[in-house]
Amino acid sequence: MHAFPLCRKLTADDAASVARVEKACFSLPWTEPQIASAFTQKAYGAFGLFSENLLGYISVYHVVPEMEILNLAVLPAYRRKGYGRFLLMTCLQASQKMGIHTVWLEVRERNVAARALYDSVGFVVSGVRAKYYSDTGEDACILVFSMT
């Protein structure tokens, strides 16, 4: 039986690993300096899943009572194993303990897999940002999750 990877809070020391996952998963990845800078902000937080290396992560900005999910990424070779759902649920559980009432994010309109994941845990579409993504001109769906 395959053991589930270790999940832990990420720190600035993990910036290079996060950048590698970003590059493998996104057409507009954050750079290592951008990620390292984010860790200096009090409102920034991230959790990661590790085997020997970082397999996936979720990053957020949080100011009680709100949280924005910035990125949720799992390396392509490790997708469809429940890791993205695990990261999302870990984040939602932590946010509830922090007193967060509302969680929101933007997702590419055509990202069917991500939208299905968010829908399955109760996120709902609250709006659209037209032509949000500069690489494709694709719209972003604004999704919201209420803790109450």
The tokens describing 114, both together, are: 């991500």
- Annotated catalytic residue within 57, 78, 106, 132: 106
How many angstroms separate the CA atoms of 125 and 105, rounded? 10
Strands of the sheet containing 54-63, edge to edge, are 6-9, 44-50, 54-63, 66-74, 102-108, 140-146, 124-129
Is position 118 annotated as part of the catalytic site? yes
> In sequence order, what are the beta bridge partners of 84?
none
Q: Rounded to an integer, what is the distance from CA 73 to the centroid of its chain?
A: 6
Could you tell me if 121 and 89 are in contact, meaning their C-beta atoms sit under 8 angstroms apart? yes
> Is-catalytic flag, 106?
yes
The one catalytic residue among 118, 132, 133, 138: 118
Q: Which residues are catalytic?
A: 106, 118
